Amino acid sequence: MSVVSLLQLDTGFPRIPGDIGSPETWRADLDVHVVPELSVARVINSDPGATDMTAVEAAMDRARGDILTTSCGFLCYWQDRLAARTTMPFVSSALLALPDLRKRFADDELAILTFNADVLTSPAFTPSLGGFAGAVAGLAAQSHLRQVIANDLPTLDRQRAEDEVVRLVDDLCAAGGVRALLLECTNLPPYKQALKARFDIEIFDILTLIDGMKADIVDPAHL
């Protein structure tokens, strides 16, 4: 059986099916490496270069997967450095799909949904966006899902989180013109089927990116 190695932030909030950290998301064995003290706040900030990556690199050295990925797309800042350290295909973020998506869609036809839009649009992440001029929307600061992730809360109301994500995308699509959505946050794919049922748009995320690299590794229910 295939193996997916996951570099996971040091968090304990629920990883529901569809989340990259849930074993139920995969047809592969999930080889999880929690990086000690690597919190959400340490990764999702406008000065990611100040983060000590020693523990991340040590976790990489223990990975045994056919593919190596992460539980937080903001590690895209480190994509080149970390990819150069391993012989495994390394996927830091769904944002790696952005160049190909921009060949299919104009920037105003593609929207990015992220955990924190202010951080993602800060200068440190300019290379990761590659000049993308479309909409970048983040979870509302006081939303249930963002609070669960940011504060590492032990319980998650899935329906409440789903309703929040649907409302956010409804706002994005209200003006018309959006044909595709890129879910940057690895905690958003559990709500993808609800979005597909509501909106006539194509949806891409880290799971679709990995599936394109290695077929039959993601459970089709989450594609």
Residue-by-residue pLDDT tens, the chain, 223 positions: 899 999 999 999 999 999 999 999 999 999 999 999 999 999 999 999 999 999 999 999 999 999 999 999 999 999 999 999 999 999 999 999 999 999 999 999 999 999 999 999 999 999 999 999 999 999 999 999 999 999 999 999 999 999 999 999 999 999 899 999 999 999 999 999 999 999 999 999 999 999 999 999 999 999 9
* Closest C-alpha to 49, from 89, 85, 68, 76: 76
Span 120-131, pLDDT tens digits? 999 999 999 999
* Contact present, 207 and 223 (Cβ < 8 Å): yes
CATH 3.40.50 describes domain 3-93+209-222:
yes
pLDDT for residue 175: 82
CATH architecture of the domain with residue range 95-205:
3-Layer(aba) Sandwich (3.40)
Decide if 3-93+209-222 and 95-205 have a common fold. yes
The one-letter amino acid code at 191 reads: Y
- The pTM for the full model equals 0.96
User: For the chain, what is the radius of gyration of the CA atoms?
Assistant: 16
* Contact present, 3 and 28 (Cβ < 8 Å): yes
Distance of CA 36 to the CA centre of its chain: 20
pLDDT for residue 105: 98
Helix segments in 39-157, DSSP class H: 40-43, 54-62, 79-83, 98-104, 117-120, 126-129, 144-150
What letter would DSSP give residue 134?
A: S
220 CB neighbour count, 10 Å cutoff: 8
Looking at the chain, the number of H-run helices and the number of E-run strands are 10, 8
* Closest C-alpha to 12, from 199, 208, 155: 155
All structural domains of the chain with their residue ranges: 3-93+209-222, 95-205
Label residues 74-93 b or e (16+ Cβ within 10 Å = b): bbbbbbeebbeeeebebbbb
